[in-house]
């Protein structure tokens, strides 16, 4: 699969002062996501009123994003430590050494990334089936099957990639400063495995979630006209949802804004390779989108925390009540 007896030479972007920005952006967004994910887990355990099926699915999505944020941090620190003092990076193909940290974190990152795509799509289908098709709460008695697909299919894909030896150092070819698909394979093989281990599923997620939310919004508009109501919420259409679950209607838009940049980079790079078109200002365009990708790919749990915790009145009020109770308990213990 590798290119025999060849050497791939890269100019180390980490040595250029302005290009330490990708590292900084990821090391800002990833810890923010870790904190945001922990906040979602804590509120799920503390706030009983918000613990419905939709919230459980959000926790599953957040677990994926939490793992991805940790893996991104590990990958960026590894890159800085390994290549921080090198102006030129030489990669012998096939590689004579096995970078186990790159292999492990690249595999974990790929798996968590795929799981995130699956859970985002499942949340969209959950809302659609509850509002439009009026399924019962026990629709997710099939949850064992759902969990098997959402966690298991990505695992199978990653194992296949590992067996074929395609996970490794890619030096920003379609990703950030972390390992994904090895640079030691042909461009056509890179394209195939990038589609199989990420981009293909990401594009499918964009299509399915976008279509689901458009159908859902259209259905709500139609019902509002039929009932001649100025305002129609989820609770008017389904007993299984809360009013604040309407925040999930913007989840797909947040995913698009955060994740689309890497997909655009990937698409343009593939177009450039297959057409041999040099594309004027391509380097500038790619660099700007790369910066945004480094921040966006690792920040989903942080924005989920803002949208589904800080902007959820039930969560906010419950946390304020919990804080007041803790203050009263401390005051009582001091008086006693």
Q: What is the pLDDT of residues 30-74, one digit of tens each?
A: 999 999 999 999 999 988 888 888 899 999 999 999 999 999 999
**Do the beta carbons of residue 198 and residue 110 sit within 8 Å?**
yes
Q: How far apart are CA 213 and CA 122, in angstroms?
A: 12
CA distances from 193 to 78, 113, 119, 279, 333 (A): 23, 14, 21, 24, 61
Has residue 171 got a pLDDT over 70? no
Q: How far apart are CA 248 and CA 127, in angstroms?
A: 8
Stretch 282-306: mean pLDDT: 90
Instruction: Tell me the sheet residues that pair with 181.
Output: 167
Has residue 18 got a pLDDT over 50? no
Q: What is the pLDDT of residues 85-144, one digit of tens each?
A: 665 566 666 665 667 888 999 999 999 999 999 999 999 998 888 888 776 655 556 788
Stretch 266-281: mean pLDDT: 82
Output the pLDDT for position 7.
46
191 lies in some domain: yes
Output the pLDDT for position 81.
83
- Range in 16-30, 77-91, 300-314 the model is least confident about: 77-91
Task: Identify the sign of the CA torsion 12, 15, 21, 27.
Answer: positive
Confidence class of residue 275 from pLDDT cuts 50, 70 and 90? confident
Output the pLDDT for position 282.
82
Output the pLDDT for position 217.
84
The pair of three-digit structure tokens given for residue 1, joined into one six-digit string: 């699969």
Confidence class of residue 201 from pLDDT cuts 50, 70 and 90? very high
* Backbone torsions φ then ψ of 167, nearest 5 degrees: -85, 130
Has residue 295 got a pLDDT over 80? yes
**Domain around 108:** 6-335
1 lies in some domain: no
Confidence class of residue 162 from pLDDT cuts 50, 70 and 90? very high
Confidence class of residue 329 from pLDDT cuts 50, 70 and 90? low
Buried b (16+ CB within 10 A) or exposed e, 94-105: ebeeeeeebbeb
**Do the beta carbons of residue 75 and residue 136 sit within 8 Å?**
no
Q: Is 297 exposed, middle or buried (0-12, 13-18, 19+ CB in 10 A)?
A: buried
255 lies in some domain: yes
Q: How many domains does the chain have?
A: 1
Output the pLDDT for position 220.
82
What is the end-to-end Cα distance of the chain in Å, rounded? 74
Q: How far apart are CA 256 and CA 214, in angstroms?
A: 14
Residue with tokens 């150092």: 169
- Domain with 193 in it: what CATH number? 1.20.1070.10
**Do the beta carbons of residue 237 and residue 131 sit within 8 Å?**
yes
């Amino acid at each position: 699969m590798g290119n025999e007896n060849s050497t791939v030479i890269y100019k180390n972007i980490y040595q250029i002062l302005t290009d330490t920005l990708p590292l900084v952006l990821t090391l800002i967004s990833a810890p923010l996501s870790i904190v945001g994910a922990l906040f979602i887990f804590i509120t799920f355990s503390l706030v009983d009123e918000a613990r419905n099926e939709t919230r459980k699915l959000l926790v599953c999505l957040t677990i994926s994003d939490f793992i991805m944020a940790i893996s991104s941090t590990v990958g960026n620190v590894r890159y800085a430590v390994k290549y921080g003092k090198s102006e030129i990076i030489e990669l012998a193909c096939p590689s004579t050494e096995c970078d186990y940290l790159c292999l492990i974190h690249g595999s974990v990152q790929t798996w968590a990334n795929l799981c995130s795509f699956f859970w985002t799509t499942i949340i969209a289908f959950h809302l659609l089936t509850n509002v439009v098709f009026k399924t019962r709460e026990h629709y997710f008695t099939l949850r064992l099957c759902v969990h098997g697909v959402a966690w298991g299919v990505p695992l199978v894909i990653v194992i296949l990639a590992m067996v074929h030896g395609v996970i490794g150092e890619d030096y920003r070819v379609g990703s950030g400063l972390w390992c994904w698909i090895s640079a030691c394979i042909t461009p056509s093989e890179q394209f195939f495995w990038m589609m199989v281990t990420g981009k293909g599923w990401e594009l499918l997620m964009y299509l399915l979630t976008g279509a689901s939310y458009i159908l859902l919004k259209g259905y709500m508009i139609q019902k509002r006209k039929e009932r001649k109501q100025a305002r129609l919420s989820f609770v008017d259409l389904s007993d299984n949802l809360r009013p604040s679950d309407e925040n999930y209607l913007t989840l797909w838009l947040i995913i698009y804004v955060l994740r689309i940049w890497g997909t655009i980079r990937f698409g343009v790079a593939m177009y450039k390779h297959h057409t041999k078109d040099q594309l004027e200002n391509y380097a500038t365009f790619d660099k700007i989108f790369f910066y945004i990708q480094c921040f966006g790919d690792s920040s989903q749990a942080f924005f989920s925390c803002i949208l589904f915790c800080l902007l959820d009145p039930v969560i906010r009020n419950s946390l304020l009540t919990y804080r007041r109770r803790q203050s009263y308990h401390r005051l009582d213990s001091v008086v006693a």
